[in-house]
Amino acid sequence: MVTRDRRAKRRGKQGANRPRDTKVARAVRITADTPYGECSERLTAFGGLLALVKFLELIGFEQVFAAHYVHPKREAKLGGYRMVLGILMLLFIGFQRLGHFAYVRYDAMVCGMLRVGALPAVSTFWRSLRSLSIVQSAALLQLGAALRARVWALCEYRPARVTVNIDTTVSTVYGAIEGARKGHHPTHRGTKGLRPVLCFLVETREYLCGTQRRGETITNREGARQIRPFRKLLPAHVQDVRVHGDGECIGWESVQACRDEAFQVPFGNKRCAPPFPEAGGYRHGDHEYNECGYRLGDWEAPCRFVAMRIVKCGPRSIMITQIIPS
């Protein structure tokens, strides 16, 4: 006897079939599962673009863009500035793919912001994006750094010390993507993915820089190459930079890069077991600490390793070891 599995997720009703008394949560992203409805009135769905354009005028986005953007050999139909501005508007509206330009191609507000009667075809934006060379990534980072300095100045935000968090994540890919590997993937085990490294400012949650990588563990050379440009991407009034990284960043080249740039860098330790002295522990606040100087493998100099013991309820505890280059 075959019975029907009734535990499967039922598909929700959309459009006119959706019950009117159903409370729809605010969607963060527009996907195939996002509920939608219909009405006979004409709504200004993209009214927030006016605030975006006014903000870009306030920070002088067009002038900064002209100073840092590297124009490709292929000249865009709308020019480099308006092509990039169109992509920014698409992301601001809530779409995630260039193909979604087809839905707003004749929208009066979007076309008015770009000063055209109708947006170019989707293939035009694709060709413009594909024409950008690899050196454009550095130009866009410099553009972001210049805009960051202007926005912080307008907000009168002048921190003397910032914290940069380095972390790697897993981006699942489908199909034959170059560089995809099977590795640590907590949500989709056994699937291929890329392993980009991302760097964020902890205080403001801003994206600082990053690299799209193959699906392998980050090497010491890649970690050092990611750390060295931090100083150039921050405003001049930032004097002290504290970099947080996990055990994947431990390596002499990364430590040497931190020393050369005078960064304060605690790294999480998962690669070695330093010989901490039994009688050298001390207590600070609610946690217990122990430290020692230790030289790992072929490192040129010893570093300071600090172990923090977090006492939990009961006799168990958690030991966290960090390396702090001196």
Q: List pLDDT tens digits, range 287-300.
A: 788 888 888 877 88
Mean pLDDT of all residues in 289-317: 74
Handedness of CA 102, 137, 141, 29 (dihedral sign): positive
Our CA angle for 63, 64, 67, nearest 5°, is 90
Domain membership of residue 241 as a residue range:
160-266
Q: Reply yes or no on whether the pLDDT at 72 is more than 60.
A: yes
Report residue 158's pLDDT band, with 50, 70 and 90 as the boundaries. Answer: very high
- 173 with 252, same domain: the answer is yes
Q: Reply yes or no on whether the pLDDT at 11 is more than 70.
A: no
Picking from 135, 157, 179, the residue at the C-terminal end of a domain is 157
- 262 with 274, same domain: the answer is no
- 50 with 152, same domain: the answer is yes
- 164 with 152, same domain: the answer is no
- 50 with 151, same domain: the answer is yes
Picking from 102, 129, 157, the residue at the C-terminal end of a domain is 157
Q: Which residue has the higher pLDDT, 88 or 25?
A: 88
Domain count, the chain: 3
Q: Give the per-residue pLDDT at 235.
A: 92
> What one-letter code names the amino acid at 199?
C
CA distance 321 to 326: 16
Q: What is the CATH number of the domain that holds 219?
A: 3.30.420.10
Please check whether residue 134 lies inside any domain of the structure.
yes
- 168 with 191, same domain: the answer is yes
Question: Hey, what long-range contacts does 135-142 have (CB within 8 A, 24 or more apart)?
Answer: 135/70, 136/70, 136/72, 139/68, 139/69, 139/70, 140/68, 140/69, 141/209, 141/229, 141/233, 142/68, 142/232, 142/233
Q: Give the per-residue pLDDT at 7.
A: 58
Report residue 281's pLDDT band, with 50, 70 and 90 as the boundaries. Answer: confident
